[in-house]
Structure 1
Amino acid sequence: MNKNKESLHLSSPAINTHMNKRSQIWAAFRSAFPYTIPIFAGFLFLGIAYGIFMHSLGFSAIYPIIMSFMIFAGSMEFVAANFLLGAFNPMNALFLTLMVNARHLFYGISMLDKYRGTGKKKLYLIFGMCDESFSINYTANVPANVDKGWFMFFVTLLNHLYWVAGAAIGGIFGSYVKFNTEGLDFVMTALFIVIFIEQWMKEKKHYSALTGLGLSVASLILFGGNQFIIPAMLAILGVLTVLRKPLEKAEVSV
Protein backbone atom coordinates (compact mmCIF):
# COMPACT_ATOMS: atom_id res chain seq x y z
CA MET A 1 0.00 0.00 0.00
CA ASN A 2 2.81 2.37 0.92
CA LYS A 3 4.61 1.51 -2.32
CA ASN A 4 1.51 2.37 -4.33
CA LYS A 5 1.16 5.71 -2.55
CA GLU A 6 4.84 6.41 -3.13
CA SER A 7 4.57 5.59 -6.86
CA LEU A 8 1.52 7.84 -7.20
CA HIS A 9 3.36 10.61 -5.41
CA LEU A 10 6.36 10.26 -7.71
CA SER A 11 4.29 10.12 -10.87
CA SER A 12 2.11 13.14 -10.06
CA PRO A 13 4.76 15.74 -11.08
CA ALA A 14 5.11 14.02 -14.45
CA ILE A 15 1.33 14.01 -14.89
CA ASN A 16 1.11 17.68 -13.95
CA THR A 17 3.90 18.53 -16.37
CA HIS A 18 2.13 16.66 -19.16
CA MET A 19 -1.16 18.41 -18.41
CA ASN A 20 0.53 21.81 -18.30
CA LYS A 21 2.16 21.17 -21.66
CA ARG A 22 -1.16 20.16 -23.21
CA SER A 23 -2.83 23.27 -21.82
CA GLN A 24 -0.02 25.43 -23.21
CA ILE A 25 -0.41 23.86 -26.65
CA TRP A 26 -4.18 24.30 -26.57
CA ALA A 27 -3.82 27.92 -25.45
CA ALA A 28 -1.43 28.57 -28.34
CA PHE A 29 -3.87 27.03 -30.81
CA ARG A 30 -6.78 29.12 -29.52
CA SER A 31 -4.65 32.25 -29.72
CA ALA A 32 -3.35 31.51 -33.23
CA PHE A 33 -6.60 30.44 -34.88
CA PRO A 34 -8.33 33.87 -35.01
CA TYR A 35 -5.31 35.35 -36.77
CA THR A 36 -5.63 32.79 -39.56
CA ILE A 37 -9.34 33.25 -40.30
CA PRO A 38 -8.74 35.90 -43.01
CA ILE A 39 -6.11 33.61 -44.53
CA PHE A 40 -8.63 30.78 -44.53
CA ALA A 41 -10.96 32.77 -46.78
CA GLY A 42 -8.21 33.68 -49.22
CA PHE A 43 -6.35 30.36 -49.25
CA LEU A 44 -9.49 28.27 -49.59
CA PHE A 45 -10.68 30.04 -52.73
CA LEU A 46 -7.22 30.42 -54.23
CA GLY A 47 -6.53 26.77 -53.46
CA ILE A 48 -9.77 25.78 -55.16
CA ALA A 49 -8.76 27.87 -58.16
CA TYR A 50 -5.40 26.09 -58.21
CA GLY A 51 -7.06 22.67 -58.03
CA ILE A 52 -9.42 23.61 -60.87
CA PHE A 53 -6.46 24.91 -62.88
CA MET A 54 -4.62 21.61 -62.43
CA HIS A 55 -7.74 19.71 -63.43
CA SER A 56 -8.08 21.84 -66.56
CA LEU A 57 -4.55 20.79 -67.55
CA GLY A 58 -5.53 17.15 -67.30
CA PHE A 59 -4.05 16.26 -63.91
CA SER A 60 -5.92 14.08 -61.45
CA ALA A 61 -6.80 15.39 -57.99
CA ILE A 62 -3.82 13.68 -56.37
CA TYR A 63 -1.42 16.08 -58.11
CA PRO A 64 -2.67 19.36 -56.60
CA ILE A 65 -3.10 17.67 -53.21
CA ILE A 66 0.48 16.36 -53.08
CA MET A 67 1.98 19.49 -54.64
CA SER A 68 0.16 21.83 -52.27
CA PHE A 69 1.31 19.72 -49.33
CA MET A 70 4.94 19.25 -50.40
CA ILE A 71 5.70 22.49 -52.27
CA PHE A 72 3.41 25.00 -50.53
CA ALA A 73 4.69 27.93 -52.56
CA GLY A 74 1.55 29.56 -53.92
CA SER A 75 2.30 31.08 -57.29
CA MET A 76 5.19 28.68 -57.84
CA GLU A 77 2.74 25.79 -57.81
CA PHE A 78 0.94 27.30 -60.78
CA VAL A 79 4.28 27.61 -62.56
CA ALA A 80 5.21 24.04 -61.60
CA ALA A 81 2.10 22.78 -63.39
CA ASN A 82 3.48 24.14 -66.65
CA PHE A 83 6.86 22.55 -65.91
CA LEU A 84 5.16 19.17 -65.64
CA LEU A 85 3.74 19.63 -69.13
CA GLY A 86 6.99 20.82 -70.70
CA ALA A 87 10.38 19.30 -71.40
CA PHE A 88 12.50 18.16 -68.45
CA ASN A 89 14.67 21.14 -67.48
CA PRO A 90 15.64 21.07 -63.79
CA MET A 91 18.04 24.03 -63.99
CA ASN A 92 15.36 26.26 -65.45
CA ALA A 93 12.98 25.17 -62.71
CA LEU A 94 15.63 25.85 -60.06
CA PHE A 95 16.47 29.38 -61.20
CA LEU A 96 12.86 30.34 -61.80
CA THR A 97 11.93 29.11 -58.33
CA LEU A 98 14.75 31.15 -56.80
CA MET A 99 13.59 34.24 -58.66
CA VAL A 100 9.92 33.83 -57.77
CA ASN A 101 10.57 33.05 -54.10
CA ALA A 102 13.68 35.17 -53.49
CA ARG A 103 11.72 37.24 -50.97
CA HIS A 104 11.80 34.28 -48.59
CA LEU A 105 15.51 34.92 -48.07
CA PHE A 106 14.58 38.22 -46.44
CA TYR A 107 11.72 36.64 -44.53
CA GLY A 108 14.16 34.11 -43.09
CA ILE A 109 16.62 36.79 -42.02
CA SER A 110 13.82 38.74 -40.34
CA MET A 111 12.64 35.67 -38.42
CA LEU A 112 16.03 34.54 -37.08
CA ASP A 113 15.42 35.96 -33.61
CA LYS A 114 11.77 34.92 -33.45
CA TYR A 115 12.53 31.31 -34.39
CA ARG A 116 15.30 31.01 -31.81
CA GLY A 117 14.43 28.58 -29.04
CA THR A 118 11.56 26.88 -30.88
CA GLY A 119 13.29 23.49 -30.88
CA LYS A 120 12.24 20.89 -33.42
CA LYS A 121 9.32 23.08 -34.48
CA LYS A 122 11.81 25.33 -36.25
CA LEU A 123 12.18 22.82 -39.11
CA TYR A 124 8.48 22.99 -39.94
CA LEU A 125 8.35 26.74 -39.35
CA ILE A 126 11.07 27.19 -41.97
CA PHE A 127 9.41 24.82 -44.44
CA GLY A 128 5.92 26.24 -43.99
CA MET A 129 6.79 29.93 -43.97
CA CYS A 130 4.71 31.69 -46.61
CA ASP A 131 3.93 35.38 -47.06
CA GLU A 132 0.84 35.23 -44.88
CA SER A 133 2.39 33.16 -42.06
CA PHE A 134 5.40 35.47 -42.04
CA SER A 135 3.17 38.54 -41.77
CA ILE A 136 1.22 37.12 -38.85
CA ASN A 137 4.15 35.64 -36.95
CA TYR A 138 6.25 38.76 -37.38
CA THR A 139 3.62 41.32 -36.37
CA ALA A 140 1.28 39.49 -33.97
CA ASN A 141 1.26 40.48 -30.32
CA VAL A 142 1.38 37.06 -28.69
CA PRO A 143 -0.07 37.08 -25.14
CA ALA A 144 2.49 36.67 -22.38
CA ASN A 145 0.93 33.41 -21.20
CA VAL A 146 1.09 31.81 -24.67
CA ASP A 147 4.13 29.91 -25.92
CA LYS A 148 5.39 31.82 -28.97
CA GLY A 149 6.89 28.73 -30.57
CA TRP A 150 3.60 26.85 -30.51
CA PHE A 151 1.72 29.99 -31.58
CA MET A 152 3.88 30.36 -34.71
CA PHE A 153 3.66 26.61 -35.32
CA PHE A 154 -0.15 26.64 -35.36
CA VAL A 155 -0.31 29.77 -37.52
CA THR A 156 1.93 28.03 -40.05
CA LEU A 157 0.14 24.68 -39.81
CA LEU A 158 -3.36 26.13 -40.14
CA ASN A 159 -2.42 28.22 -43.17
CA HIS A 160 -0.81 25.16 -44.73
CA LEU A 161 -3.91 23.06 -44.14
CA TYR A 162 -6.17 25.76 -45.60
CA TRP A 163 -4.17 25.73 -48.81
CA VAL A 164 -4.12 21.93 -49.05
CA ALA A 165 -7.86 21.77 -48.36
CA GLY A 166 -8.61 24.30 -51.08
CA ALA A 167 -6.40 22.50 -53.60
CA ALA A 168 -8.04 19.18 -52.73
CA ILE A 169 -11.55 20.58 -53.18
CA GLY A 170 -10.62 22.19 -56.48
CA GLY A 171 -8.89 19.06 -57.73
CA ILE A 172 -11.71 16.71 -56.76
CA PHE A 173 -14.66 18.84 -57.82
CA GLY A 174 -12.90 20.80 -60.55
CA SER A 175 -15.07 19.38 -63.30
CA TYR A 176 -18.26 20.33 -61.46
CA VAL A 177 -17.44 23.79 -60.08
CA LYS A 178 -17.85 26.65 -62.52
CA PHE A 179 -17.15 30.22 -61.41
CA ASN A 180 -15.28 33.27 -62.60
CA THR A 181 -12.00 33.62 -60.68
CA GLU A 182 -11.06 36.95 -62.23
CA GLY A 183 -9.82 39.32 -59.54
CA LEU A 184 -9.70 36.62 -56.87
CA ASP A 185 -5.94 37.00 -56.49
CA PHE A 186 -6.52 40.50 -55.07
CA VAL A 187 -7.70 38.89 -51.82
CA MET A 188 -4.10 38.45 -50.67
CA THR A 189 -3.18 42.00 -51.68
CA ALA A 190 -6.10 43.34 -49.67
CA LEU A 191 -5.01 41.22 -46.71
CA PHE A 192 -1.52 42.70 -46.74
CA ILE A 193 -2.96 46.21 -46.93
CA VAL A 194 -5.01 45.51 -43.80
CA ILE A 195 -1.96 44.09 -41.99
CA PHE A 196 0.07 47.16 -42.97
CA ILE A 197 -2.64 49.51 -41.69
CA GLU A 198 -2.86 47.62 -38.38
CA GLN A 199 0.91 47.80 -37.96
CA TRP A 200 0.85 51.50 -38.83
CA MET A 201 -1.77 52.15 -36.15
CA LYS A 202 0.25 50.27 -33.52
CA GLU A 203 3.39 52.36 -34.06
CA LYS A 204 3.74 55.88 -32.72
CA LYS A 205 6.51 56.71 -35.18
CA HIS A 206 6.41 55.45 -38.75
CA TYR A 207 10.04 55.74 -39.82
CA SER A 208 10.37 52.08 -40.85
CA ALA A 209 7.08 52.01 -42.74
CA LEU A 210 7.81 55.25 -44.57
CA THR A 211 11.29 54.01 -45.44
CA GLY A 212 9.85 50.82 -46.89
CA LEU A 213 7.21 52.71 -48.86
CA GLY A 214 9.70 55.23 -50.21
CA LEU A 215 12.22 52.61 -51.31
CA SER A 216 9.48 50.47 -52.86
CA VAL A 217 8.15 53.39 -54.90
CA ALA A 218 11.68 54.32 -56.00
CA SER A 219 12.38 50.72 -57.06
CA LEU A 220 9.07 50.59 -58.92
CA ILE A 221 9.99 53.70 -60.89
CA LEU A 222 13.53 52.54 -61.61
CA PHE A 223 12.96 48.85 -62.37
CA GLY A 224 9.33 48.62 -63.45
CA GLY A 225 6.41 46.64 -62.10
CA ASN A 226 7.77 43.21 -63.02
CA GLN A 227 11.24 43.51 -61.48
CA PHE A 228 11.06 45.92 -58.56
CA ILE A 229 10.42 43.51 -55.67
CA ILE A 230 13.94 42.11 -55.19
CA PRO A 231 15.72 45.49 -55.57
CA ALA A 232 13.20 47.02 -53.16
CA MET A 233 13.79 44.28 -50.59
CA LEU A 234 17.55 44.60 -50.90
CA ALA A 235 17.31 48.36 -50.45
CA ILE A 236 14.95 48.07 -47.48
CA LEU A 237 17.15 45.43 -45.83
CA GLY A 238 20.29 47.52 -46.32
CA VAL A 239 18.82 50.81 -45.16
CA LEU A 240 17.03 49.38 -42.13
CA THR A 241 20.15 47.43 -41.14
CA VAL A 242 22.25 50.59 -41.24
CA LEU A 243 19.62 52.69 -39.48
CA ARG A 244 18.47 50.01 -37.04
CA LYS A 245 19.92 51.53 -33.87
CA PRO A 246 18.84 55.14 -34.61
CA LEU A 247 15.33 53.92 -35.43
CA GLU A 248 15.13 51.86 -32.24
CA LYS A 249 16.28 54.85 -30.18
CA ALA A 250 13.69 57.04 -31.87
CA GLU A 251 10.93 54.55 -31.06
CA VAL A 252 12.02 54.22 -27.42
CA SER A 253 12.28 57.98 -26.92
CA VAL A 254 8.63 58.52 -27.91
Structure 2
Amino acid sequence: MERAPGVVEKVAALLRALSTAESGTTTTALAAATGQPRATTHRLLESLAAEGLADRDPSTGRWFLGPETYVLGVAAAARYDLTNEARASVHRLARETGESAFFSVRRGDEVVVLLREDGDFPIRSYVLYESARFPLAVVSGGLAILAHLTERDVDAYFARADLVADWGPAHAEPLVRERLAATRRTGWSLNPGHVVEGSWGMAAAVFDASGRPEWALTLTGVEQRFRPDRQPLLGRLLLEEAHRLSRLA
Protein backbone atom coordinates (compact mmCIF):
# COMPACT_ATOMS: atom_id res chain seq x y z
CA MET A 1 0.00 0.00 0.00
CA GLU A 2 1.37 3.40 -0.98
CA ARG A 3 1.96 5.89 1.79
CA ALA A 4 -0.08 9.07 1.51
CA PRO A 5 2.13 12.11 0.93
CA GLY A 6 2.94 14.05 4.08
CA VAL A 7 3.13 17.80 4.50
CA VAL A 8 6.79 17.94 3.47
CA GLU A 9 6.08 16.10 0.21
CA LYS A 10 3.11 18.38 -0.51
CA VAL A 11 5.12 21.53 0.14
CA ALA A 12 8.02 20.26 -1.98
CA ALA A 13 5.63 19.54 -4.86
CA LEU A 14 4.25 23.07 -4.65
CA LEU A 15 7.71 24.66 -4.63
CA ARG A 16 8.76 22.60 -7.65
CA ALA A 17 5.59 23.60 -9.50
CA LEU A 18 6.18 27.25 -8.66
CA SER A 19 9.76 27.01 -9.93
CA THR A 20 8.51 26.20 -13.44
CA ALA A 21 5.96 29.04 -13.56
CA GLU A 22 8.01 31.99 -14.78
CA SER A 23 4.88 34.13 -15.28
CA GLY A 24 3.26 32.98 -12.07
CA THR A 25 0.36 30.59 -11.70
CA THR A 26 -2.99 30.24 -9.99
CA THR A 27 -4.04 28.26 -6.95
CA THR A 28 -6.27 26.11 -9.15
CA ALA A 29 -3.44 25.36 -11.58
CA LEU A 30 -1.09 24.48 -8.73
CA ALA A 31 -3.68 22.15 -7.23
CA ALA A 32 -4.01 20.38 -10.57
CA ALA A 33 -0.25 20.22 -11.12
CA THR A 34 0.42 18.70 -7.70
CA GLY A 35 -2.68 16.51 -7.43
CA GLN A 36 -3.82 18.18 -4.21
CA PRO A 37 -7.24 19.57 -3.27
CA ARG A 38 -7.59 23.27 -3.95
CA ALA A 39 -8.34 24.05 -0.30
CA THR A 40 -5.18 22.22 0.81
CA THR A 41 -3.15 23.98 -1.86
CA HIS A 42 -4.43 27.39 -0.80
CA ARG A 43 -3.70 26.70 2.88
CA LEU A 44 -0.15 25.56 2.15
CA LEU A 45 0.50 28.52 -0.14
CA GLU A 46 -0.62 30.94 2.54
CA SER A 47 1.76 29.26 5.01
CA LEU A 48 4.61 29.40 2.50
CA ALA A 49 3.89 33.08 1.86
CA ALA A 50 4.08 33.81 5.58
CA GLU A 51 7.60 32.35 5.58
CA GLY A 52 8.67 34.17 2.40
CA LEU A 53 8.83 30.97 0.37
CA ALA A 54 5.91 31.92 -1.88
CA ASP A 55 4.65 35.30 -3.02
CA ARG A 56 1.27 36.37 -4.47
CA ASP A 57 0.84 39.28 -6.84
CA PRO A 58 -1.99 41.34 -5.30
CA SER A 59 -3.13 42.64 -8.68
CA THR A 60 -3.37 39.31 -10.52
CA GLY A 61 -3.61 36.79 -7.70
CA ARG A 62 -0.89 34.69 -9.34
CA TRP A 63 1.67 32.86 -7.23
CA PHE A 64 5.46 33.00 -7.56
CA LEU A 65 8.42 31.67 -5.63
CA GLY A 66 9.09 33.95 -2.66
CA PRO A 67 12.25 35.93 -1.87
CA GLU A 68 13.36 33.49 0.81
CA THR A 69 13.90 30.81 -1.85
CA TYR A 70 16.56 33.05 -3.39
CA VAL A 71 18.33 33.38 -0.04
CA LEU A 72 18.26 29.61 0.45
CA GLY A 73 19.51 29.04 -3.09
CA VAL A 74 22.46 31.34 -2.61
CA ALA A 75 23.34 29.58 0.64
CA ALA A 76 23.24 26.15 -1.06
CA ALA A 77 25.09 27.25 -4.17
CA ALA A 78 28.55 26.97 -2.64
CA ARG A 79 28.11 23.22 -2.27
CA TYR A 80 25.87 22.23 -5.17
CA ASP A 81 26.20 24.82 -7.92
CA LEU A 82 28.54 24.54 -10.87
CA THR A 83 26.55 27.12 -12.82
CA ASN A 84 29.23 29.81 -12.96
CA GLU A 85 31.83 27.34 -14.18
CA ALA A 86 29.33 25.82 -16.62
CA ARG A 87 28.65 29.14 -18.36
CA ALA A 88 31.95 28.93 -20.20
CA SER A 89 31.25 25.35 -21.31
CA VAL A 90 27.77 26.22 -22.53
CA HIS A 91 29.16 29.23 -24.41
CA ARG A 92 31.87 27.17 -26.11
CA LEU A 93 29.43 24.44 -27.13
CA ALA A 94 27.00 26.95 -28.64
CA ARG A 95 29.79 28.81 -30.44
CA GLU A 96 31.56 25.74 -31.83
CA THR A 97 28.46 23.82 -32.94
CA GLY A 98 25.95 26.56 -33.80
CA GLU A 99 23.30 24.66 -31.79
CA SER A 100 21.51 25.53 -28.56
CA ALA A 101 23.54 24.45 -25.52
CA PHE A 102 22.30 23.78 -22.00
CA PHE A 103 23.46 22.96 -18.49
CA SER A 104 21.08 20.96 -16.29
CA VAL A 105 21.07 19.56 -12.77
CA ARG A 106 19.54 16.41 -11.36
CA ARG A 107 16.82 16.92 -8.76
CA GLY A 108 15.50 13.58 -7.58
CA ASP A 109 13.83 11.81 -10.51
CA GLU A 110 13.95 14.93 -12.68
CA VAL A 111 16.46 17.03 -14.56
CA VAL A 112 16.13 20.83 -14.36
CA VAL A 113 17.59 23.22 -16.95
CA LEU A 114 19.75 25.95 -15.40
CA LEU A 115 21.47 27.58 -18.39
CA ARG A 116 20.77 28.05 -22.09
CA GLU A 117 22.75 29.71 -24.86
CA ASP A 118 21.81 29.63 -28.53
CA GLY A 119 24.33 29.19 -31.30
CA ASP A 120 24.28 30.99 -34.64
CA PHE A 121 22.32 28.40 -36.61
CA PRO A 122 19.01 30.16 -37.36
CA ILE A 123 16.66 27.20 -36.79
CA ARG A 124 16.36 26.19 -33.13
CA SER A 125 14.50 23.79 -30.88
CA TYR A 126 12.57 25.25 -27.96
CA VAL A 127 11.80 22.02 -26.09
CA LEU A 128 14.31 23.00 -23.41
CA TYR A 129 14.41 26.34 -21.64
CA GLU A 130 15.79 27.63 -18.35
CA SER A 131 13.83 26.19 -15.37
CA ALA A 132 12.22 23.44 -17.49
CA ARG A 133 11.84 20.10 -15.70
CA PHE A 134 11.67 16.66 -17.28
CA PRO A 135 11.81 13.09 -15.96
CA LEU A 136 15.31 11.63 -16.13
CA ALA A 137 14.41 9.11 -18.85
CA VAL A 138 12.84 11.62 -21.25
CA VAL A 139 15.30 14.29 -22.47
CA SER A 140 18.90 13.60 -23.45
CA GLY A 141 20.36 15.31 -20.36
CA GLY A 142 18.31 13.10 -18.07
CA LEU A 143 19.24 10.00 -20.07
CA ALA A 144 22.94 10.84 -19.73
CA ILE A 145 22.57 11.09 -15.95
CA LEU A 146 20.36 8.01 -15.58
CA ALA A 147 22.74 5.90 -17.67
CA HIS A 148 25.54 6.43 -15.14
CA LEU A 149 23.58 5.72 -11.98
CA THR A 150 23.98 2.31 -10.34
CA GLU A 151 21.85 -0.56 -11.61
CA ARG A 152 19.99 -0.55 -8.30
CA ASP A 153 19.17 3.15 -8.72
CA VAL A 154 18.05 2.62 -12.31
CA ASP A 155 15.80 -0.31 -11.33
CA ALA A 156 14.30 1.74 -8.51
CA TYR A 157 13.67 4.62 -10.90
CA PHE A 158 11.72 2.45 -13.32
CA ALA A 159 9.73 0.99 -10.43
CA ARG A 160 8.56 4.52 -9.58
CA ALA A 161 8.20 6.02 -13.05
CA ASP A 162 5.12 5.80 -15.29
CA LEU A 163 6.66 7.22 -18.45
CA VAL A 164 4.38 5.76 -21.10
CA ALA A 165 1.26 7.32 -19.60
CA ASP A 166 2.72 10.82 -19.82
CA TRP A 167 5.23 10.59 -22.67
CA GLY A 168 4.03 7.84 -24.99
CA PRO A 169 5.15 4.37 -26.14
CA ALA A 170 8.63 5.53 -27.15
CA HIS A 171 9.33 5.76 -23.41
CA ALA A 172 8.49 2.16 -22.55
CA GLU A 173 11.08 0.73 -20.16
CA PRO A 174 12.72 -1.73 -22.63
CA LEU A 175 13.22 1.06 -25.19
CA VAL A 176 14.63 3.47 -22.61
CA ARG A 177 16.98 0.77 -21.34
CA GLU A 178 18.28 0.34 -24.90
CA ARG A 179 19.04 4.06 -25.01
CA LEU A 180 20.78 3.85 -21.65
CA ALA A 181 22.95 0.98 -22.90
CA ALA A 182 23.86 2.99 -26.02
CA THR A 183 24.77 5.96 -23.81
CA ARG A 184 27.12 3.81 -21.75
CA ARG A 185 28.83 2.59 -24.93
CA THR A 186 29.42 6.01 -26.48
CA GLY A 187 29.55 8.20 -23.37
CA TRP A 188 26.86 10.55 -24.70
CA SER A 189 23.10 10.16 -24.97
CA LEU A 190 20.88 10.72 -28.00
CA ASN A 191 17.22 11.73 -28.08
CA PRO A 192 16.04 11.41 -31.72
CA GLY A 193 12.88 13.49 -31.51
CA HIS A 194 11.06 11.53 -28.82
CA VAL A 195 9.73 14.63 -27.05
CA VAL A 196 8.91 16.75 -30.12
CA GLU A 197 9.21 15.27 -33.59
CA GLY A 198 12.16 16.69 -35.47
CA SER A 199 13.80 18.13 -32.34
CA TRP A 200 16.92 16.15 -31.47
CA GLY A 201 19.23 16.31 -28.48
CA MET A 202 22.56 14.92 -27.31
CA ALA A 203 24.06 15.14 -23.82
CA ALA A 204 26.93 14.10 -21.59
CA ALA A 205 26.87 13.66 -17.81
CA VAL A 206 28.92 15.77 -15.41
CA PHE A 207 30.08 14.02 -12.23
CA ASP A 208 30.59 15.28 -8.69
CA ALA A 209 33.68 14.65 -6.57
CA SER A 210 32.36 11.24 -5.49
CA GLY A 211 31.72 10.11 -9.06
CA ARG A 212 27.95 10.57 -9.07
CA PRO A 213 26.29 11.98 -12.21
CA GLU A 214 24.61 15.14 -10.94
CA TRP A 215 24.58 17.46 -13.97
CA ALA A 216 24.48 17.30 -17.75
CA LEU A 217 25.55 19.34 -20.77
CA THR A 218 23.18 19.18 -23.73
CA LEU A 219 23.00 20.23 -27.36
CA THR A 220 19.66 20.46 -29.15
CA GLY A 221 18.59 21.32 -32.67
CA VAL A 222 16.71 20.16 -35.72
CA GLU A 223 17.10 16.60 -36.99
CA GLN A 224 19.28 17.37 -40.02
CA ARG A 225 21.89 18.96 -37.75
CA PHE A 226 22.29 15.69 -35.81
CA ARG A 227 22.88 13.34 -38.71
CA PRO A 228 24.91 10.18 -37.93
CA ASP A 229 28.13 11.46 -39.49
CA ARG A 230 28.06 14.57 -37.26
CA GLN A 231 27.13 12.86 -34.01
CA PRO A 232 30.69 11.75 -33.12
CA LEU A 233 31.93 15.35 -33.38
CA LEU A 234 29.10 16.68 -31.21
CA GLY A 235 29.61 13.85 -28.76
CA ARG A 236 33.34 14.55 -28.49
CA LEU A 237 32.73 18.23 -27.79
CA LEU A 238 30.13 17.40 -25.14
CA LEU A 239 32.43 14.88 -23.44
CA GLU A 240 35.38 17.28 -23.43
CA GLU A 241 33.35 19.96 -21.69
CA ALA A 242 31.72 17.46 -19.33
CA HIS A 243 35.14 16.14 -18.28
CA ARG A 244 36.37 19.68 -17.74
CA LEU A 245 33.45 20.47 -15.43
CA SER A 246 33.73 17.15 -13.59
CA ARG A 247 37.29 18.01 -12.64
CA LEU A 248 36.01 21.26 -11.08
CA ALA A 249 33.17 19.67 -9.09
Report which of the two structures shows the higher radius of gyration computed on alpha carbons. Answer: 1
Structure with more of its chain in helix, by fraction:
1
Higher relative contact order (CA 8 A, sep 6+): 1
Structure with greater strand percent: 2
Is the shorter-chain TM-score for this pair beyond 0.5, marking a shared fold?
no
Return the TM-score normalized by structure 1.
0.29
